[in-house]
Amino acid sequence: MNKYLGNKAALALFLLPALILYSVILIYPVLQGVFRSFYEWDGLSTATFIGLDNYKELFGDPLLLTSLKNGALFALVLVVFQIGLGTVLALVCANPRTRGRRLLKTAYFIPVVLSVTVVCQLWIAIYDPTNGLINRLFEMLGLSYRQNWLSSPTESIIAIAFVNAWQFMGYQFALLYAGVKAVPEDYFEAATIDGCGKWRAHWHVTLPLMRETYKFCFTIAITSGIGAFVQMLIMTNGGPGTTNYTMTFMIYRYAFMESNYGYACAVSVLLVLISLAATMIINRVFDREQTA
């Protein structure tokens, strides 16, 4: 058996294609990215080693502060909207008396399978100051609350984050709904029989048992907030000015518009470190609640 399942030629045939491709296209660029972050490099000529200079420059870069702030704001919108509202919807939907569950789930999930380009352009139309859906709606209701949604610095980042939150709501909802369903119903019933109100029972019984689901949902929402890019690129091109910049936008600009590859690599390394730190903190927070 050992000889049969240790066939060297078969092993090489099964392993090597995936290993080679994965190493060359994924692992090598990761290492190369870290390595190049210590160089001054335009992508063509020979790079010069400059130690930590890129990082020193990065911490003085005003764009970094804007990007971090926008990333945090983006993540916050995703957490509040997708996880906050998503949890309420999942709890109500999981109630055995709710009708039309399949229809609701399907309707929530449809935007997930759309192309991000379609979604962004649709929302450009919705946010359009004169003919867009939202301003027309206000007009119809007789309100004079017309906004130029995508051209004010702070509102636009929230408006853009909302587009992402809207598109992937169905995804988080599906996870949360599966999480609620995985909690044995007896637990919840026992709590309500003991005189606990429904929402209190959910708060003290259902939600704590969904720890693993929340760990994953928070990780997805926060890391995609920190790494956000495509929506800004399509909807406002990072503007007005540089007010809608995020870290990925910085990488894109420094590398592909200014050919400052070394510096862009430093930004990408910092982005990965921040994402990893966020993931670790989320894990720590949810594990601590388990022991408490």
Partner 1 sequence: MTLKKLQPLGRFILQIPLWLYLIVSIYPLIWMISYSLKNNDEIFVTNPFGLPTHFRFENYVNAWTQFNIPRYFLNSFVVSLISTVFILILALMFAFAVARMRWRFRSAARTYMIVGMFMPLQVIMIPLAILVRDFHLTNTYGALIIPYIALGLPFSTMVFYGFLMGIPREIEEAACMDGASIYRLFLRIILPLALPAIATVTIFQFLNNWNEFTLAYILISDENMKTLPLGLLFFQGSYSTDWGAMGAVMTIASLPMVLVYLLLSEQVERAMTVGSAVKG
> Binding to partner 1 (CB under 8 A): which residues in 41-80?
43
| Least distance CB 155 / partner 1 (angstroms) | 19
| 275 forms part of the interface with partner 1 (CB under 8 A) | yes
For partner 1, give the closer residue by CB, 71 or 243.
Answer: 71
Of these, 39, 66, 170, 282, which contacts partner 1 (CB under 8 A)? 170
Q: What's the closest the beta carbon of residue 84 comes to partner 1, in angstroms? A: 12
Among 13, 143, 280, 281, binds partner 1 (CB under 8 A): 13
30 near partner 1, judged by CB under 8 A? yes
Sign of the Cα pseudo-torsion (171, 22, 274, 213, in order)? positive
Please tell me whether residue 178 binds partner 1 under the rule CB under 8 A.
yes
Minimum CB–partner distance for residue 43 and partner 1 (Å): 6
Binding test (CB under 8 A) with partner 1, winner from 64, 174, 196, 209 = 174
- Position 38, amino acid: F
Q: How many residues contact partner 1, by CB under 8 A? A: 97
278 lines the binding site for partner 1 (CB under 8 A): no
The Cα 285–Cα 247 span in angstroms is: 25
The CB-of-19 to partner 1 minimum distance in angstroms stands at 7
Site for partner 1 contains 239 (CB under 8 A): no
Burial of 111 (0-12, 13-18, 19+ CB in 10 A): middle
Question: What value, to the nearest 5°, has the Cα angle with vertex 121 and ends 117 and 122?
Answer: 115
Q: Is 136 in the site for partner 1 (CB under 8 A)?
A: yes
Footprint of partner 1 on 77-116 (CB under 8 A): 85, 88-89, 92-93, 95, 97-99, 102-116
